[in-house]
């Protein structure tokens, strides 16, 4: 069984050298296949790199490493990246009380009204209330975080504050 690109219809004899050569149409078809395969490989590599960047961004946000957050965003990490529980970098930074990290993420388009993907589905502001850093709360409110926004369980930031003795 021969390869399809070596079919008799795709090969003609070069009269001057006597060697078999592919027709222009067949060469173009083969090049299109190769190009398509290369694009697929490049997309797979790019997606894997983006996943790594986003995982690194989540880690940097949870530790408040603002310099690393800035680097990762510059390399293509996205502020809407999520872990398995649907936590965004902003949720990590807000809950941990990392004001500078919160401000960098917000300045780069992080959603101040995002919810986690858990059953409770807490808002960023609810996580920030649990974290207890007033400067983080002010930064979120300055970026239009909904003070009355409810988690999926119906709790508002005020409910979280009352329940955690933050009032």
User: Considering the domain boundaries, does residue 61 fall inside one?
Assistant: yes
The answer to whether residue 3 is domain-embedded is no
Dist. CA 161–CA 122, nearest whole Å? 13
pLDDT by residue, tens only, the chain of 167 residues: 445 544 454 455 545 555 555 566 777 777 666 665 555 544 444 444 446 899 999 999 999 999 999 999 999 999 999 998 899 999 999 999 999 999 999 999 999 999 998 889 999 999 999 888 999 999 999 999 999 999 999 999 998 888 877 66
The residue assigned the tokens 């919810």 is: 115
Determine, yes or no, domain membership for 20: no
| Structural domain of 97 | 50-163
Tell me, what CATH number does 151's domain have?
Answer: 1.25.40.20
Helix (H) or strand (E) holding 24: helix 24-63
| Tokens representing residue 18 in the block | 């006597």
Among candidate residues 122, 93, 97, 95, the one with its CA nearest the CA of residue 106: 93
> What is the torsional sign of CA 85, 45, 67, 69?
negative
In a domain, 75, yes or no: yes
> Which pLDDT score, from 0 to 100, does residue 161 have?
85
The structural domain count of the chain equals 1
* Residue 137 resides in a domain: yes
Q: Say how far apart CA 35 and CA 41 lie, in whole Å.
A: 10
């Amino acid at each position: 069984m021969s390869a399809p690109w070596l079919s008799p219809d795709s090969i003609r004899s070069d009269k001057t050298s006597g060697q078999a050569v592919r027709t222009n149409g067949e060469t173009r078809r083969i090049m299109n296949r190769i190009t398509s395969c290369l694009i697929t490989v490049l997309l797979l590599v790019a997606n894997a790199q983006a996943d790594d960047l986003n995982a690194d961004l989540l880690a940097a946000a949870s530790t408040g490493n603002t310099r690393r957050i800035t680097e990762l965003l510059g390399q293509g990490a996205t502020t809407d990246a999520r872990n398995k529980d649907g936590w965004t970098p902003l949720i990590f930074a807000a809950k941990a009380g990392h004001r500078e990290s919160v401000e960098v993420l917000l300045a780069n388009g992080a959603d101040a009204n995002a919810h986690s993907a858990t059953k409770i589905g807490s808002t960023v502001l609810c996580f920030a209330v649990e974290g207890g850093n007033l400067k983080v709360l002010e930064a979120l409110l300055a970026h239009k975080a909904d003070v009355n926004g409810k988690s999926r369980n119906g709790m508002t930031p005020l409910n979280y504050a009352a329940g955690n003795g933050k009032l």
